[in-house]
Amino acid sequence: MGCLVFLLALLSPRLALFFIWIFGNLLERAFDDWIVPVLGFFLLPWTTLAYAVMWGAGPNGVEGFEWFIVVLAFLADLSSYAASSRHRNY
């Protein structure tokens, strides 16, 4: 399932999140409530996907180097917003 999620994430992180939600319970294990994944789906899809995948990677949740991956995903989300803003201004 990991390779499929990776390939879907290359196409669209929202598509990967949708398939993780439909075919697995990774989002339910990573997040206590339903509102955080829904907000993450619309606002920060790379960060939500990275947090859920890193949560499932270790036995104790997200810790250590896994936080670095989540921060990189957050920076990818911010850069996509900055790029879309730059394209709107031109």
User: What letter represents residue 90's amino acid?
Assistant: Y
Closest CA to 51 of 83, 78, 23, 36: 36
In this structure, what DSSP letter does residue 58 have? S
Q: How far apart are CA 53 and CA 47, in angstroms?
A: 10
49-85 pLDDT, tens digit per residue, is 999 999 988 788 899 999 999 999 999 999 988 877 6
User: What letter represents residue 28's amino acid?
Assistant: E
The average pLDDT across 21-31 equals: 91
> Which pLDDT score, from 0 to 100, does residue 61 have?
85
SS (H, E, C) 15-55: HHHHHHHHHCCHHHHHCCCCHHHHHHHHCCHHHHHHHHHHH
> Which pLDDT score, from 0 to 100, does residue 69 have?
93
Q: How far apart are CA 29 and CA 86, in angstroms?
A: 37
